[in-house]
Amino acid sequence: MASPMPQQGAGGGADQVLGLVRQIVSASRMLGQSVPGAVPIVRQINDLVQQLQQKIIQSQPAPEPQAPPV
């Protein structure tokens, strides 16, 4: 029996996308360790992924302001 999908809180979609970004970084690091000649390319990948992460964060809606105290 398959387990149900975990509930997503506020910004759950962004959390999922940023998780994918972390997977890219992790995989590229492993490639750099496995293939030393690929290190310059891995650096380029990580630089581009950093730019991607910034775009993802910037594309998120602004948080809602808190209600004033009563």
Mean pLDDT, residues 8-14 taken together: 57
Distance CA 20, CA 37 (A): 25
| pLDDT given at position 5 | 42
| pLDDT given at position 29 | 92
- pLDDT above 90 as % of the chain: 50
Which pair of tokens denotes residue 63? 């948080």
pLDDT digits 0-9 by tens, 36-59? 999 999 999 999 999 999 998 888
Fill in the amino acid letter for 34: S
32, 42 contact by CB (below 8 A): yes
Asked if residue 2 has pLDDT above 80, the reply is no
pTM above 0.75, yes or no: no
